[in-house]
Structure 1
Amino acid sequence: MKILLLHQYFLEDNDHGGSRWNEITKQWTEEGNDITVIAGMMHYSSSCKRPEYKGKWFKKKQQGAVNIIRCHVSESYNSSFVGRLWAYFSFVFSSLWAGLFITKGKYDVIIVTSPPLFVGISGYLISLFKRTPFVFEIRDLWPESAIDTGVVTNGLIIKLAYVLEAFIYKKATLINVLTPAFRQTLIEKKKVNPDKIIFIPNAADFTLSDKIVENFDTAIFRKEHDLEGKFVITYVGAHGVANHLEQIIETGLLLSDTNVLFLLIGDGMEKKRLIALATEKKAVNVRFLDPVPKAEVFKYILASDMGASVLKNVDTFKTVYSNKTFDYMSCKRPILMAIDGVSKELVEDAKAGVFVEPENPEDFAKKIRMYLNDPKQVIVQGENGYKFAKANFDRTILAKKYIESMRKLMSIR
């Protein structure tokens, strides 16, 4: 198949962050498919472009066999809410131009992955002019998540966002959702035809984790990174408003009498403030690390005792799966799940960790002490999570399922 993917945050080689589509497109090309990605020139946690993109509107690249067209995105992305909006719309314009005038030939299907929601405008218009079916993927419910976290408060913007959302859902040939709760919300609240919805969730990358385990010495890594003698709990991901990582700092203070060490790996708009807060409160058992490539992330997880999945306590996040949950599972590490809803159900169904009430440091600390007093549960639940993810969330299997859905779409047109 010949597929065009629009993904503003498609990672560069060795970038940190969500690599879902890097892994899917790599597998698809290895199976003989022709994949072109229209992507942005800005990483979501960066404040500026790479030097190679300075002064350029477009640049063609190759990542393995995947064709990439990097498009202009305003460097105002992390400056303010208005700056972020402008960055979104700058990609709408540049990606539309790339889709209409830089990509060549006919595609079998166009896939657009969101957020941001606005890239759906580009996807729809490109599909209209190229007379190609348009598949819209929802990785996060928007604008609900932006409203619940207080990022969007302007009534007019909220109203326009809901209008745009409804329009995109109507025009998409298929809609892929990453959690069963998204599907339920689309059907019950947004009145989307159930026949248009498919479910290909986030997944665990066993190919990478199993490969690293073969030659990884946990003891040496822990010694090299000053982790010896610690009960290490790793959080990997964004340091933003939505994550509310203050709760980890407060939990660290409550566990100052133990050997618990929190490792927070990642970046985001809140990171500088969080570091200052931890310093002010003297949370010496909370350590912040810069983002690292995914292979290195797996090494930190393997050298940890547990993983933490954390989000703000708002209703919208009850519908999401945290990306890193599946990485923890693939590394056989149990999860402290500080996200209610479907993520809580996932961990409980897998018997792969414990639910922590979001934004409740006392409960967080209590659950951790439970593992300190019963360390055998760390091993048992880690194994449970690995087996559950292998059976239900193996990325290799789900990537095949995804492209089969695309082939089925072609066969009925």
Structure 2
Amino acid sequence: MKILLIHQYFLEKNDGGGSRWNEITRHWASKGNSITVISGMVHYASGKKPHKYKGKWIYIDKGFYNNVDVIRTHVSEAYNKNFLGRLWAYFSFVFSGTYAGLFKCDRKYDIIVATSPPLFVGIIAYILSKFRKIPFVFEVRDLWPESAIDTGVLKNQFLIKFSFWFERFIYKRAIFINALTPAFKEKLIKEKGVSEHKITMIPNAADFSLAESLIDTLDVKEFRRINNIEDKFVITYVGAHGVANHLIQLIEVAERLRDTNVLFQLIGDGMLKEYLIDEVKTRKLENVRFIDPVPKSEVFKYILSSDVGTSVLKKNDTFKTIYSNKTFDYMACKKAVLLLIDGVSRELVETANCGVYAEPENLDDIEKKIRHLLALSKNELNLMGINGYNYAKKYFDRVTLAEYYLIKLKDVRKNR
């Protein structure tokens, strides 16, 4: 099968962020399929272009993986500046991505897959679908525009109305929709009027291949010694340092935990990282450590050398509908989870019995739950980690879900 994927934030090879689509495309390619990815040049967390893309409109990386080509297109670096900058970042990708799809893709594709957010990648999918006369699949990784409105990213009333109109437009024209969580699927059916027969649910998942190889080979004791965390109770966060993540709540709790050996280890980048670093300096905290983005293999070393992994978001109803990518990485690494996200993510952790939930932005509850984790024995913490691993292995294995996704694409293409 020849597949065209439109994903504004498809990662570079060694990025440590959410690499779900990198792993899916690599699996599809290993089965003999050919994939072309149209993606932006600007990194989703830093909002910056790598040096090799500077001054370029199009950058074609043939053989990014075996049977996977990546076409990087221009995206404005004004994303983190203000509302107009963010809007232009979205639509600059619409223009450059559409151009790449029309004039730089030299294959005859069987199907297009567009993964959102941002919602506006659907414009590219729709135009290319019309010109190339092939169907497109639309994937909902986040409820957009709701999440953008709730976090203050989207405030302009005209753009909000347009976004809701376009959302309905794109759902109607997609051959099928993949919703990443049961809450997304339910909301699309009950509130947005999408036919149940048009929706499937192939969720985020755990990458066991890298975790399992490192579990067997990494000298955790030596890694902790090198990083000077031998005597610490390490709580690691991996991911974006942005508005939605609201990592300030971890810093505020760190201030309350000066009397303990807890160390918060924050790995990644984002528009609020400098602000967070300044807050730690102002508060004179020695129990918060920032680490710049590292390759995924290194990320897993940090997770495996931690006591707990944490997933964190702002408190709002939209985030009750999402599964956190990083929660699955912690589960794959057999680590207990400190979850500051309500809703389906909470249901996941509590059903798997692999960690504790604390109410987002409730400092008393977060502090209480961390002190509870501190009081557990090593065996009790390890059991949480094993529970999470076993549950994710049974229901959220990335290879299994990637194979199911491919079967679904073939079915809808054949039955069109």
- TM-score range relative to shorter protein: over 0.9
Matched, 1:397 2:400: yes
Runs (4+) of structure 1 exceeding 3 A deviation are none
| Contact 1:371/1:377, CA 8 A, preserved across alignment | no
1:284 alignment partner, SS class: coil
In structure 2, distance between residues paired with 1:92 and 1:309: 31
Aligned to 2:234: 232
* Corresponding residue number in structure 1 for 2:150: 148
Matched with 1:412 is 415
Match of 1:110 in 2: 112
1:20 corresponding residue in structure 2: 20
CA drift at 1:245:
0.8
1:71 maps to 73
Q: CA deviation at 1:267?
A: 0.8
Q: Give distance in 1, aligned partners of 2:335 and 2:36.
A: 35
Return the alpha-carbon distance in structure 2 between the equivalents of residues 46 and 367 of structure 1. 31
Q: Secondary structure at the match of 2:187?
A: helix
- Equivalent residue number for residue 86 of structure 1: 88
1:337 alignment partner, one of 339, 349, 365: 339
Taking the aligned partners of 2:15 and 2:357, their CA distance within structure 1 comes to 30
Q: Which amino acid aligns with 2:402?
A: A
Aligned 8 A contact 1:135 1:172 in 2: yes
Partner Cα distance (1:130, 1:214) in 2: 47
Give SS of 1:162's match. Answer: helix
Contact 1:45 1:78 in 2 (8 A): no
Matched, 1:30 2:33: no
Task: Report the Cα distance in structure 2 between the residues aligned to 1:152 and 1:95, rounded to whole angstroms.
Answer: 22
Contact kept, 8 Å, 2:10 with 2:22, in 1: the verdict is: yes
TM-score (norm 1): 0.98
CA offset digits 1:154-196 (Å, max 9, x no partner): 2111111111111111111110011000001100110111111
> Which deviates further from its counterpart, 44-53 or 249-258?
44-53
- Between the aligned partners of 1:99 and 1:142, the Cα distance in structure 2 is 23
Structure 2 residue aligned with 1:382: 385
| Contact map agreement 1:254 1:362 (CA 8 A) in 2 | no
Asked if structure 2 preserves the Cα contact closer than 8 Å seen for 1:120 and 1:168, the reply is yes
Unaligned runs of 5+ in 2: none
Q: Which amino acid aligns with 2:413?
A: M
Structure 1 residue ranges without an equivalent (≥5) = none
1:169-184 to structure 2, matched below 5 A, reads 169-184=171-186
Which of residues 250, 263, 266 is equivalent to 1:264? 266
Distance 1:345 1:283 in 2: 33
Q: Distance in 1 between matches of 2:327 and 2:153?
A: 25
Which range moves more in the overlay, 49-58 or 378-387? 49-58
Q: Quick one: which amino acid aligns to residue 65 of structure 2?
A: G
Kindly provide the amino acid, as one letter, of the partner of residue 236 in structure 1: V
Q: Hey, what does 1:123 align to over in structure 2?
A: 125
Q: CA offset at residue 278 of structure 1?
A: 1.5
Aligned residues of 1:41 and 1:72 also touching (Cα < 8 A) = yes
Identify the residue that residue 96 of structure 1 maps to in structure 2. Answer: 98
Q: Secondary structure at the match of 1:241?
A: coil
Partner of 2:168: 166
Per-residue CA distance 1:84-133 (angstroms, 9 max, x = gap) = 11011011011111111111232111000011111100001101111111
Amino acid corresponding to residue 194 of structure 1 in structure 2: E
CA contact (8 A) 1:267 1:291 kept: yes
| Contact 2:205-2:328 within 8 A present in 1 as well | yes
One-letter amino acid of the structure 1 residue matched with residue 211 of structure 2: S
Alpha-carbon offset, residue 47 of structure 1: 4.2
Q: Secondary structure at the match of 1:63?
A: strand
Write the distance in 2 (CA, Å) between the matches of 1:231 and 1:54: 42
CA distance in 1: counterparts of 2:48 and 2:314, whole angstroms: 27
CA distance in 2, matches of 1:285, 1:55: 41
Distance 2:186 2:47 in 1: 36
DSSP 3-state at the match of 1:244 = coil
Partner Cα distance (1:41, 1:243) in 2: 23
User: Which of 347-356 and 54-63 deviates more?
Assistant: 54-63
Cα distance in 2 between the residues matched to 1:185 and 1:282: 44
The one-letter amino acid of 1:64's match is: Y
- Alignment correspondent of 1:210: 212
Is residue 138–residue 178 contact of structure 1 (8 Å, CA) maintained in 2?
yes
Q: Report if the CA contact (8 A) 1:136-1:176 is conserved.
A: yes
Give 2:354's aligned residue: 352
**Matched residues in 1 for 2:290 and 2:59: separation?**
34
In 2: Cα distance, 1:48 partner to 1:186 partner: 33
Provide the rounded CA distance (Å) in 2 between the counterparts of 1:225 and 1:312.
30
User: For residue 395 of structure 2, what is the amino acid of its counterpart?
Assistant: N
What secondary structure does 2:244 align onto? helix
Measured in 2, the distance between the counterparts of 1:47 and 1:197 equals 32
Residue by residue, what CA displacement relative to the aligned partner does 1:273-297 show, whole Å, maximum 9, x if unpaired? 1111121122221111111111111
Count of aligned positions? 413
The one-character-per-residue Cα deviations of 1:61-104 (angstroms, maximum 9, x if unpaired) are: 12122111111111212222211110110110111111111112
Residues 216 and 144 of structure 1: CA distance in aligned 2, closer, same or farther (over 3 Å): same
Give the 3-state SS of the residue equivalent to 1:397 in structure 2: helix
Whole-angstrom distance in 2 between the partners of 1:154 and 1:124? 24
More displaced 10-residue stretch of structure 1: 12-21 or 348-357: 12-21
Are the counterparts in 2 of residues 178 and 201 from structure 1 also a CA contact under 8 Å? yes
C-alpha distance in 2 between matches for 1:75 and 1:358: 31
Contact 2:60 2:72 in 1 (8 A): yes
